[in-house]
């Protein structure tokens, strides 16, 4: 079901959803963002996970959280920080960052960061755009 007008949500949505929206609006949550979330997920998901979604989005960024949700379910939002590795422009930058503090290599050693990134992505890392997540926890 697509809710097109924020003014009609009271007539369209279940009473318990409207009550939750009203509660969140009192705390200055954004009605348009709420309606979009309900459209993309469901009323039940809104009631169960919206505050976790907003908390993660405010802490880390909504793009990161939305990327996470392409790999995981809403009920795993409370584990977002356990999975999230970071944002990197390229896989090789991700690989280099992953090892730069743990390796104590002489300056003459050259590491193939692209090959290292490929190995990491095959084994235990998932990539969505420029965002990287552990594939296990």
77, 53 contact by CB (below 8 A): yes
Q: Give residue-wise pLDDT tens across range 11-63.
A: 889 999 999 999 999 999 999 999 999 999 999 999 999 999 999 999 999 99
Q: Quickly state the pLDDT bin for 7 (edges 50, 70, 90).
A: low
Q: Tokens standing for 114?
A: 């692209």
Q: What is the pLDDT of residues 53-83, one digit of tens each?
A: 999 999 999 999 999 999 999 999 999 999 9
The model's pTM: 0.81
DSSP 52-77: HHHHHHHHH-HHHHHHHHTTS-GGGG
pLDDT attached to residue 101? 67
């Amino acid at each position: 079901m697509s809710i097109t007008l924020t003014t009609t949500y009271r007539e369209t949505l279940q009473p318990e959803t409207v009550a939750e929206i009203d509660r969140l609006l009192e705390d200055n949550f954004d009605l348009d963002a709420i309606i979009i979330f309900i459209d993309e997920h469901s009323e039940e998901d809104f009631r169960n996970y919206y505050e976790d979604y907003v908390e993660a989005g405010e802490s880390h960024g909504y793009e990161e959280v939305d990327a996470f949700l392409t790999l995981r379910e809403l009920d795993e939002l409370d584990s977002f920080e356990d999975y999230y590795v970071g944002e990197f422009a390229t896989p090789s930058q991700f690989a280099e960052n992953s090892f730069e503090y743990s390796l104590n290599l002489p300056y003459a050693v050259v590491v193939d960061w692209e090959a290292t990134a490929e190995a990491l992505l095959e084994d235990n890392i998932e990539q969505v755009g420029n965002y990287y997540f552990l594939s296990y926890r």
